[in-house]
Structure 1
Protein backbone atom coordinates (compact mmCIF):
# COMPACT_ATOMS: atom_id res chain seq x y z
CA UNK A 1 0.00 0.00 0.00
CA UNK A 2 1.46 3.41 -0.90
CA UNK A 3 2.47 5.61 1.99
CA UNK A 4 -0.23 8.10 2.90
CA UNK A 5 0.57 11.78 2.75
CA UNK A 6 -0.66 14.52 5.01
CA UNK A 7 -2.55 17.33 3.39
CA UNK A 8 -1.21 20.81 4.05
CA UNK A 9 -3.72 23.44 4.92
CA UNK A 10 -3.66 26.46 2.66
CA UNK A 11 -3.12 28.69 5.66
CA UNK A 12 -0.04 26.64 6.67
CA UNK A 13 1.78 26.51 3.35
CA UNK A 14 4.02 29.49 4.17
CA UNK A 15 4.85 28.36 7.69
CA UNK A 16 8.53 27.73 8.45
CA UNK A 17 8.10 23.99 8.87
CA UNK A 18 6.58 23.62 5.41
CA UNK A 19 9.09 25.71 3.46
CA UNK A 20 11.63 23.96 1.24
CA UNK A 21 15.26 24.57 2.12
CA UNK A 22 16.79 27.30 -0.02
CA UNK A 23 20.46 27.61 -0.96
CA UNK A 24 22.35 29.79 1.51
CA UNK A 25 23.09 33.29 0.30
CA UNK A 26 26.27 33.27 2.38
CA UNK A 27 29.59 32.08 0.99
CA UNK A 28 30.64 28.81 2.55
CA UNK A 29 34.38 28.46 3.16
CA UNK A 30 35.77 25.68 1.05
CA UNK A 31 38.17 23.21 2.60
CA UNK A 32 40.97 21.85 0.40
CA UNK A 33 41.70 18.16 0.29
CA UNK A 34 43.26 16.82 3.46
CA UNK A 35 46.91 16.77 2.47
CA UNK A 36 49.22 15.35 5.11
CA UNK A 37 52.67 16.62 6.08
CA UNK A 38 55.36 15.21 8.32
CA UNK A 39 57.91 17.91 9.12
CA UNK A 40 60.99 17.19 11.20
CA UNK A 41 63.20 20.01 12.41
CA UNK A 42 66.10 20.63 14.75
CA UNK A 43 64.92 23.43 16.99
CA UNK A 44 62.11 25.10 18.90
CA UNK A 45 62.11 28.19 16.68
CA UNK A 46 61.42 26.14 13.56
CA UNK A 47 58.87 23.92 15.30
CA UNK A 48 56.73 26.70 16.77
CA UNK A 49 56.93 28.92 13.70
CA UNK A 50 55.68 26.12 11.43
CA UNK A 51 52.95 25.15 13.89
CA UNK A 52 51.69 28.74 13.80
CA UNK A 53 50.48 28.50 10.20
CA UNK A 54 46.65 28.50 10.29
CA UNK A 55 46.23 25.54 7.97
CA UNK A 56 42.66 24.41 7.41
CA UNK A 57 42.48 21.41 5.14
CA UNK A 58 45.88 19.86 5.79
CA UNK A 59 47.13 17.72 8.64
CA UNK A 60 50.58 18.88 9.68
CA UNK A 61 52.70 16.91 12.15
CA UNK A 62 55.83 18.76 13.30
CA UNK A 63 58.48 16.93 15.31
CA UNK A 64 61.45 18.63 16.94
CA UNK A 65 64.54 16.41 16.73
CA UNK A 66 66.87 18.92 18.34
CA UNK A 67 70.35 17.78 19.30
CA UNK A 68 71.02 15.50 16.35
CA UNK A 69 73.36 15.88 13.43
CA UNK A 70 71.76 16.76 10.11
CA UNK A 71 72.27 13.27 8.70
CA UNK A 72 70.95 11.69 11.89
CA UNK A 73 67.85 13.89 11.65
CA UNK A 74 67.14 12.50 8.19
CA UNK A 75 67.74 8.93 9.37
CA UNK A 76 65.45 9.45 12.36
CA UNK A 77 62.79 10.79 10.01
CA UNK A 78 62.94 7.50 8.12
CA UNK A 79 62.64 5.54 11.37
CA UNK A 80 59.60 7.57 12.39
CA UNK A 81 57.92 6.90 9.06
CA UNK A 82 58.47 3.18 9.50
CA UNK A 83 56.86 3.27 12.94
CA UNK A 84 53.93 5.56 12.17
CA UNK A 85 50.77 3.78 10.97
CA UNK A 86 49.72 6.73 8.80
CA UNK A 87 51.25 7.67 5.47
CA UNK A 88 52.18 11.24 4.55
CA UNK A 89 51.80 13.04 1.25
CA UNK A 90 54.89 15.15 1.89
CA UNK A 91 57.85 14.71 4.21
CA UNK A 92 60.05 17.70 4.99
CA UNK A 93 63.32 18.03 6.87
CA UNK A 94 64.14 21.50 8.20
CA UNK A 95 67.64 22.36 9.39
CA UNK A 96 70.41 24.91 9.02
CA UNK A 97 74.19 25.00 9.01
CA UNK A 98 75.99 24.26 12.28
CA UNK A 99 77.42 27.12 14.33
CA UNK A 100 80.77 25.38 14.01
CA UNK A 101 81.81 25.58 10.38
CA UNK A 102 84.37 22.93 9.45
CA UNK A 103 84.86 20.19 6.88
CA UNK A 104 82.96 17.66 9.01
CA UNK A 105 80.00 20.03 9.40
CA UNK A 106 79.99 20.85 5.69
CA UNK A 107 80.01 17.13 4.82
CA UNK A 108 77.19 16.41 7.28
CA UNK A 109 75.12 19.25 5.81
CA UNK A 110 75.64 18.11 2.21
CA UNK A 111 75.17 14.41 2.94
CA UNK A 112 71.96 15.03 4.87
CA UNK A 113 70.43 16.95 1.97
CA UNK A 114 71.47 14.26 -0.52
CA UNK A 115 70.11 11.49 1.70
CA UNK A 116 66.79 13.24 2.22
CA UNK A 117 66.32 13.80 -1.50
CA UNK A 118 67.21 10.16 -2.22
CA UNK A 119 64.50 9.14 0.24
CA UNK A 120 61.94 11.33 -1.49
CA UNK A 121 61.84 13.98 1.23
CA UNK A 122 61.87 17.71 0.68
CA UNK A 123 64.48 19.79 2.48
CA UNK A 124 63.99 23.34 3.75
CA UNK A 125 67.64 24.00 4.54
CA UNK A 126 69.18 27.34 5.49
CA UNK A 127 72.72 28.64 5.46
CA UNK A 128 73.77 30.21 7.74
CA UNK A 129 70.66 30.15 9.93
CA UNK A 130 66.89 29.65 9.93
CA UNK A 131 66.60 33.28 11.02
CA UNK A 132 67.68 34.32 7.52
CA UNK A 133 64.09 33.53 6.51
CA UNK A 134 62.74 36.06 9.03
CA UNK A 135 65.31 38.65 7.95
CA UNK A 136 64.21 38.35 4.32
CA UNK A 137 60.78 39.62 5.33
CA UNK A 138 62.47 43.01 5.76
CA UNK A 139 65.55 43.12 3.55
CA UNK A 140 67.33 41.44 0.68
CA UNK A 141 71.01 40.62 1.07
CA UNK A 142 73.46 38.55 -0.93
CA UNK A 143 76.26 39.01 1.60
CA UNK A 144 77.45 36.02 3.63
CA UNK A 145 76.69 36.64 7.28
CA UNK A 146 76.94 34.65 10.49
CA UNK A 147 73.78 34.10 12.50
CA UNK A 148 74.82 36.73 15.02
CA UNK A 149 74.16 39.31 12.29
CA UNK A 150 70.58 38.09 11.85
CA UNK A 151 70.07 37.94 15.62
CA UNK A 152 71.10 41.57 15.96
CA UNK A 153 68.98 42.73 13.02
CA UNK A 154 65.90 40.86 14.21
CA UNK A 155 66.45 42.07 17.75
CA UNK A 156 66.23 45.62 16.45
CA UNK A 157 63.08 44.82 14.46
CA UNK A 158 61.33 43.07 17.34
CA UNK A 159 62.77 45.34 20.05
CA UNK A 160 64.24 42.46 22.06
CA UNK A 161 67.60 40.97 22.92
CA UNK A 162 67.34 38.17 20.37
CA UNK A 163 70.29 36.17 21.68
CA UNK A 164 68.76 36.12 25.17
CA UNK A 165 65.03 36.06 24.41
CA UNK A 166 64.62 35.16 20.73
CA UNK A 167 64.79 31.43 21.37
CA UNK A 168 62.39 31.38 24.30
CA UNK A 169 59.16 29.41 23.93
CA UNK A 170 56.77 32.33 24.39
CA UNK A 171 58.54 34.45 21.79
CA UNK A 172 58.91 31.64 19.25
CA UNK A 173 55.18 31.04 19.49
CA UNK A 174 54.38 34.54 18.25
CA UNK A 175 57.00 35.10 15.52
CA UNK A 176 54.56 34.17 12.76
CA UNK A 177 52.00 36.67 14.07
CA UNK A 178 54.62 39.39 14.58
CA UNK A 179 55.73 39.09 10.98
CA UNK A 180 52.14 39.03 9.71
CA UNK A 181 51.18 42.17 11.63
CA UNK A 182 54.34 44.19 11.00
CA UNK A 183 53.68 46.63 8.15
CA UNK A 184 57.41 46.65 7.38
CA UNK A 185 57.57 42.87 6.97
CA UNK A 186 56.32 41.09 3.86
CA UNK A 187 56.16 37.34 3.41
CA UNK A 188 55.54 37.67 -0.32
CA UNK A 189 58.76 39.65 -0.71
CA UNK A 190 60.60 37.19 1.53
CA UNK A 191 59.60 34.39 -0.85
CA UNK A 192 60.80 36.38 -3.85
CA UNK A 193 64.08 37.25 -2.15
CA UNK A 194 64.72 33.68 -1.01
CA UNK A 195 63.99 32.31 -4.48
CA UNK A 196 66.40 34.81 -6.02
CA UNK A 197 69.15 33.77 -3.59
CA UNK A 198 68.59 30.12 -4.45
CA UNK A 199 68.49 30.71 -8.20
CA UNK A 200 71.84 32.49 -8.31
CA UNK A 201 73.59 29.84 -6.18
CA UNK A 202 72.01 26.52 -7.12
CA UNK A 203 75.08 25.55 -9.18
CA UNK A 204 77.21 25.51 -6.00
CA UNK A 205 77.65 22.65 -3.49
CA UNK A 206 75.01 22.91 -0.76
CA UNK A 207 77.32 24.17 1.98
CA UNK A 208 78.68 26.91 -0.28
CA UNK A 209 75.22 28.37 -0.90
CA UNK A 210 75.26 31.25 1.54
CA UNK A 211 73.06 33.11 2.17
CA UNK A 212 70.28 30.73 1.19
CA UNK A 213 67.07 29.36 2.68
CA UNK A 214 64.61 26.95 1.12
CA UNK A 215 62.12 27.58 3.91
CA UNK A 216 60.25 29.61 1.32
CA UNK A 217 59.31 26.40 -0.51
CA UNK A 218 57.77 24.92 2.64
CA UNK A 219 55.98 28.20 3.36
CA UNK A 220 54.49 28.26 -0.14
CA UNK A 221 53.20 24.72 0.33
CA UNK A 222 51.66 25.52 3.71
CA UNK A 223 50.12 28.68 2.25
CA UNK A 224 48.21 26.51 -0.22
CA UNK A 225 46.33 25.08 2.75
CA UNK A 226 45.72 28.20 4.82
CA UNK A 227 42.37 29.18 6.27
CA UNK A 228 40.96 31.79 3.89
Structure 2
Protein backbone atom coordinates (compact mmCIF):
# COMPACT_ATOMS: atom_id res chain seq x y z
CA UNK A 1 0.00 0.00 0.00
CA UNK A 2 1.25 3.57 -0.71
CA UNK A 3 2.45 5.55 2.25
CA UNK A 4 -0.01 8.08 3.63
CA UNK A 5 0.61 11.75 2.96
CA UNK A 6 2.05 13.94 5.67
CA UNK A 7 0.28 17.12 6.80
CA UNK A 8 1.97 20.07 8.50
CA UNK A 9 -0.06 22.30 10.78
CA UNK A 10 -0.31 26.05 10.44
CA UNK A 11 1.12 26.37 13.97
CA UNK A 12 4.41 24.89 12.74
CA UNK A 13 4.76 27.21 9.78
CA UNK A 14 7.41 29.49 11.35
CA UNK A 15 9.75 26.75 12.43
CA UNK A 16 13.12 26.57 10.71
CA UNK A 17 12.37 23.28 8.98
CA UNK A 18 9.17 24.60 7.45
CA UNK A 19 9.80 28.13 6.25
CA UNK A 20 7.43 28.81 3.35
CA UNK A 21 6.04 31.97 1.83
CA UNK A 22 2.40 32.51 2.72
CA UNK A 23 1.58 29.01 4.04
CA UNK A 24 -2.12 28.27 4.42
CA UNK A 25 -3.91 25.42 6.20
CA UNK A 26 -2.25 22.08 5.71
CA UNK A 27 0.57 21.47 3.24
CA UNK A 28 0.82 18.20 1.39
CA UNK A 29 4.40 17.09 1.84
CA UNK A 30 4.30 14.11 -0.47
CA UNK A 31 1.86 12.35 -2.79
CA UNK A 32 2.15 8.59 -3.25
CA UNK A 33 2.63 7.46 -6.85
CA UNK A 34 -0.20 5.14 -7.87
CA UNK A 35 1.28 3.96 -11.16
CA UNK A 36 3.42 4.83 -14.16
CA UNK A 37 1.91 5.69 -17.53
CA UNK A 38 4.45 4.93 -20.25
CA UNK A 39 3.68 6.71 -23.53
CA UNK A 40 5.88 5.75 -26.47
CA UNK A 41 5.47 8.14 -29.41
CA UNK A 42 6.97 8.67 -32.84
CA UNK A 43 7.37 12.43 -32.58
CA UNK A 44 8.19 15.45 -30.41
CA UNK A 45 4.70 16.94 -30.75
CA UNK A 46 3.06 13.98 -29.07
CA UNK A 47 5.69 13.64 -26.34
CA UNK A 48 5.55 17.28 -25.22
CA UNK A 49 1.77 17.46 -25.45
CA UNK A 50 1.20 14.49 -23.17
CA UNK A 51 3.94 15.58 -20.76
CA UNK A 52 2.04 18.87 -20.32
CA UNK A 53 -0.93 17.29 -18.56
CA UNK A 54 -0.76 18.40 -14.89
CA UNK A 55 -1.22 14.94 -13.40
CA UNK A 56 -0.93 14.05 -9.74
CA UNK A 57 -0.25 10.67 -8.18
CA UNK A 58 1.00 9.10 -11.42
CA UNK A 59 4.29 9.37 -13.26
CA UNK A 60 4.07 10.03 -16.99
CA UNK A 61 7.05 8.75 -18.97
CA UNK A 62 6.72 10.01 -22.55
CA UNK A 63 9.38 8.82 -24.98
CA UNK A 64 9.92 10.05 -28.54
CA UNK A 65 11.33 7.37 -30.84
CA UNK A 66 11.62 9.83 -33.74
CA UNK A 67 9.80 8.27 -36.66
CA UNK A 68 10.48 4.55 -36.40
CA UNK A 69 8.20 2.24 -38.35
CA UNK A 70 5.05 1.43 -36.41
CA UNK A 71 5.95 -2.21 -35.87
CA UNK A 72 9.46 -1.27 -34.82
CA UNK A 73 8.00 1.24 -32.34
CA UNK A 74 6.00 -1.56 -30.72
CA UNK A 75 9.10 -3.76 -30.54
CA UNK A 76 11.07 -0.91 -28.97
CA UNK A 77 8.24 -0.34 -26.50
CA UNK A 78 8.53 -3.94 -25.39
CA UNK A 79 12.27 -3.46 -24.81
CA UNK A 80 11.60 -0.30 -22.79
CA UNK A 81 9.02 -2.06 -20.62
CA UNK A 82 11.46 -4.90 -19.93
CA UNK A 83 14.09 -2.38 -18.83
CA UNK A 84 11.84 -0.58 -16.33
CA UNK A 85 11.78 -1.63 -12.70
CA UNK A 86 8.12 -0.79 -12.21
CA UNK A 87 5.43 -3.22 -11.12
CA UNK A 88 2.43 -0.98 -11.88
CA UNK A 89 2.78 0.36 -15.40
CA UNK A 90 0.22 1.21 -18.07
CA UNK A 91 1.64 1.22 -21.58
CA UNK A 92 0.46 3.30 -24.54
CA UNK A 93 1.81 3.30 -28.08
CA UNK A 94 1.05 6.48 -30.02
CA UNK A 95 1.47 6.69 -33.78
CA UNK A 96 -0.32 7.77 -36.93
CA UNK A 97 -0.47 6.68 -40.55
CA UNK A 98 0.54 8.57 -43.68
CA UNK A 99 -1.93 7.37 -46.32
CA UNK A 100 0.28 8.68 -49.12
CA UNK A 101 2.77 5.87 -48.50
CA UNK A 102 0.31 3.22 -49.68
CA UNK A 103 0.04 -0.53 -49.09
CA UNK A 104 3.31 -0.98 -47.17
CA UNK A 105 2.23 1.67 -44.69
CA UNK A 106 -1.22 0.07 -44.34
CA UNK A 107 0.28 -3.31 -43.43
CA UNK A 108 2.77 -1.78 -40.99
CA UNK A 109 -0.03 0.22 -39.32
CA UNK A 110 -2.40 -2.75 -38.96
CA UNK A 111 0.29 -5.18 -37.81
CA UNK A 112 1.66 -2.72 -35.24
CA UNK A 113 -1.75 -2.19 -33.66
CA UNK A 114 -2.45 -5.94 -33.52
CA UNK A 115 0.99 -6.66 -32.07
CA UNK A 116 0.66 -3.97 -29.39
CA UNK A 117 -2.76 -5.23 -28.32
CA UNK A 118 -1.47 -8.81 -28.12
CA UNK A 119 1.27 -7.58 -25.77
CA UNK A 120 -1.36 -5.97 -23.55
CA UNK A 121 -0.53 -2.40 -24.57
CA UNK A 122 -3.04 0.30 -25.40
CA UNK A 123 -2.81 2.11 -28.73
CA UNK A 124 -3.74 5.74 -29.37
CA UNK A 125 -3.54 5.58 -33.15
CA UNK A 126 -4.57 8.31 -35.57
CA UNK A 127 -5.45 8.17 -39.24
CA UNK A 128 -4.22 10.19 -41.08
CA UNK A 129 -2.40 12.46 -38.60
CA UNK A 130 -2.05 13.14 -34.87
CA UNK A 131 -3.10 16.75 -35.67
CA UNK A 132 -6.61 15.44 -36.28
CA UNK A 133 -6.88 15.39 -32.46
CA UNK A 134 -6.09 19.11 -32.25
CA UNK A 135 -8.46 19.90 -35.13
CA UNK A 136 -11.33 18.17 -33.31
CA UNK A 137 -11.03 20.76 -30.55
CA UNK A 138 -12.57 23.18 -33.06
CA UNK A 139 -14.54 21.22 -35.66
CA UNK A 140 -15.88 17.83 -36.63
CA UNK A 141 -15.18 16.55 -40.13
CA UNK A 142 -16.03 13.06 -41.33
CA UNK A 143 -14.27 13.55 -44.65
CA UNK A 144 -10.92 11.89 -45.32
CA UNK A 145 -8.18 14.51 -45.36
CA UNK A 146 -4.43 14.37 -45.78
CA UNK A 147 -2.38 15.85 -42.96
CA UNK A 148 -1.79 19.02 -44.97
CA UNK A 149 -5.47 19.86 -44.45
CA UNK A 150 -5.07 19.74 -40.66
CA UNK A 151 -1.81 21.70 -40.83
CA UNK A 152 -3.51 24.45 -42.82
CA UNK A 153 -6.58 24.59 -40.59
CA UNK A 154 -4.53 24.69 -37.40
CA UNK A 155 -2.29 27.35 -38.91
CA UNK A 156 -5.34 29.56 -39.38
CA UNK A 157 -6.47 28.94 -35.80
CA UNK A 158 -3.06 29.62 -34.31
CA UNK A 159 -2.14 32.48 -36.66
CA UNK A 160 1.04 30.79 -37.86
CA UNK A 161 2.63 28.70 -40.58
CA UNK A 162 2.04 25.30 -38.98
CA UNK A 163 4.10 23.42 -41.55
CA UNK A 164 7.10 25.63 -40.79
CA UNK A 165 6.72 26.30 -37.07
CA UNK A 166 4.16 23.81 -35.72
CA UNK A 167 6.77 21.14 -34.98
CA UNK A 168 9.24 23.39 -33.20
CA UNK A 169 10.07 22.56 -29.58
CA UNK A 170 8.91 25.85 -28.04
CA UNK A 171 5.54 25.71 -29.78
CA UNK A 172 4.94 22.03 -29.01
CA UNK A 173 5.70 22.78 -25.37
CA UNK A 174 2.83 25.30 -25.30
CA UNK A 175 0.21 23.37 -27.28
CA UNK A 176 -1.64 21.94 -24.29
CA UNK A 177 -1.91 25.40 -22.74
CA UNK A 178 -2.89 27.04 -26.03
CA UNK A 179 -5.77 24.63 -26.54
CA UNK A 180 -6.91 24.87 -22.91
CA UNK A 181 -6.93 28.66 -22.95
CA UNK A 182 -8.56 29.15 -26.35
CA UNK A 183 -12.25 29.96 -25.85
CA UNK A 184 -12.96 28.57 -29.32
CA UNK A 185 -11.40 25.19 -28.48
CA UNK A 186 -12.94 22.45 -26.37
CA UNK A 187 -11.17 19.32 -25.22
CA UNK A 188 -14.49 17.77 -24.22
CA UNK A 189 -15.86 18.39 -27.71
CA UNK A 190 -12.71 16.81 -29.14
CA UNK A 191 -13.25 13.72 -26.96
CA UNK A 192 -16.90 13.44 -27.98
CA UNK A 193 -16.13 13.95 -31.67
CA UNK A 194 -13.25 11.48 -31.65
CA UNK A 195 -15.40 8.87 -29.91
CA UNK A 196 -18.14 9.35 -32.51
CA UNK A 197 -15.68 8.92 -35.39
CA UNK A 198 -14.26 5.73 -33.88
CA UNK A 199 -17.60 4.16 -33.01
CA UNK A 200 -18.84 4.68 -36.56
CA UNK A 201 -15.77 2.99 -38.08
CA UNK A 202 -14.52 0.47 -35.53
CA UNK A 203 -15.80 -2.44 -37.63
CA UNK A 204 -13.33 -1.55 -40.42
CA UNK A 205 -9.69 -2.67 -40.72
CA UNK A 206 -7.49 -0.23 -38.83
CA UNK A 207 -6.03 1.45 -41.93
CA UNK A 208 -9.52 2.04 -43.34
CA UNK A 209 -10.68 3.91 -40.25
CA UNK A 210 -10.26 7.45 -41.53
CA UNK A 211 -10.66 9.98 -40.05
CA UNK A 212 -10.07 8.40 -36.66
CA UNK A 213 -7.98 9.22 -33.61
CA UNK A 214 -8.00 7.15 -30.45
CA UNK A 215 -5.95 9.78 -28.66
CA UNK A 216 -9.17 10.63 -26.82
CA UNK A 217 -8.82 7.43 -24.76
CA UNK A 218 -5.34 8.36 -23.57
CA UNK A 219 -6.50 11.91 -22.81
CA UNK A 220 -9.36 10.53 -20.73
CA UNK A 221 -6.90 8.38 -18.77
CA UNK A 222 -4.63 11.37 -18.09
CA UNK A 223 -7.65 13.48 -17.13
CA UNK A 224 -8.61 10.93 -14.48
CA UNK A 225 -5.31 11.76 -12.77
CA UNK A 226 -5.30 15.55 -13.12
CA UNK A 227 -4.31 17.82 -10.26
CA UNK A 228 -7.55 19.30 -8.95
* TM bracket, shorter-chain basis: 0.7 to 0.9
Q: Give, in angstroms, the shift of residue 137 of structure 1.
A: 0.2
CA contact (8 A) 2:36 2:86 kept: no
Aligned in 2, Cα 1:64/1:87: closer, same or farther, shift over 3 Å?
Answer: farther
Are residues 1:128 and 2:166 paired?
no
- The secondary structure found in structure 1 opposite 2:100 is coil
- Name the residue aligned to 1:203: 203
**Cα distance in structure 2, aligned partners of 1:82 and 1:97:** 26
- The secondary structure found in structure 2 opposite 1:100 is helix
Aligned in 2, Cα 1:27/1:220: closer, same or farther, shift over 3 Å?
Answer: farther
**Cα distance in structure 2, aligned partners of 1:63 and 1:57:** 19
Worse overlay, 54-63 or 113-122: 54-63
**Cα distance in structure 2, aligned partners of 1:180 and 1:57:** 22
CA contact (8 A) 1:41 1:62 kept: yes
**Cα distance in structure 2, aligned partners of 1:27 and 1:128:** 48
User: What does the per-residue CA deviation read over 1:76-129, in whole Å, with 9 as the maximum and x for residues that have no partner?
Assistant: 000111122223431000000036331110000000000000000000000000
- Name the residue aligned to 1:156: 156
- The secondary structure found in structure 1 opposite 2:67 is coil
**Cα distance in structure 2, aligned partners of 1:221 and 1:162:** 28
- Name the residue aligned to 1:3: none
Q: Give, in angstroms, the shift of residue 178 of structure 1.
A: 0.2
- Name the residue aligned to 2:77: 77
User: What does the per-residue CA deviation read over 1:195-224, in whole Å, with 9 as the maximum and x for residues that have no partner?
Assistant: 000000000000000000000000000001
**Cα distance in structure 2, aligned partners of 1:111 and 1:52:** 30
- Name the residue aligned to 1:189: 189
- After superposition, residues 36-55 of structure 1 pair within 5 angstroms as 36-55=36-55
**Cα distance in structure 2, aligned partners of 1:149 and 1:113:** 25
- Name the residue aligned to 1:5: none
Aligned in 2, Cα 1:199/1:28: closer, same or farther, shift over 3 Å?
Answer: farther
Worse overlay, 176-185 or 25-34: 25-34
**Cα distance in structure 2, aligned partners of 1:31 and 1:189:** 31
Are residues 1:166 and 2:166 paired?
yes
> Which structure has the higher relative contact order (CA within 8 Å, separation 6+)?
1
Q: Give, in angstroms, the shift of residue 28 of structure 1.
A: 7.6
- After superposition, residues 1-228 of structure 1 pair within 5 angstroms as 34-98=34-98, 100-228=100-228
* Runs of 4+ deviating beyond 3 Å: 25-33
Give me the TM-score of the superposition, normalised by structure 2. Answer: 0.86
Q: Give, in angstroms, the shift of residue 33 of structure 1.
A: 5.7
Between the two proteins, the alignment pairs up a number of residues equal to 206
- The secondary structure found in structure 2 opposite 1:154 is helix
What stretches of structure 2 of length at least 5 have no aligned partner?
A: 1-10, 13-23
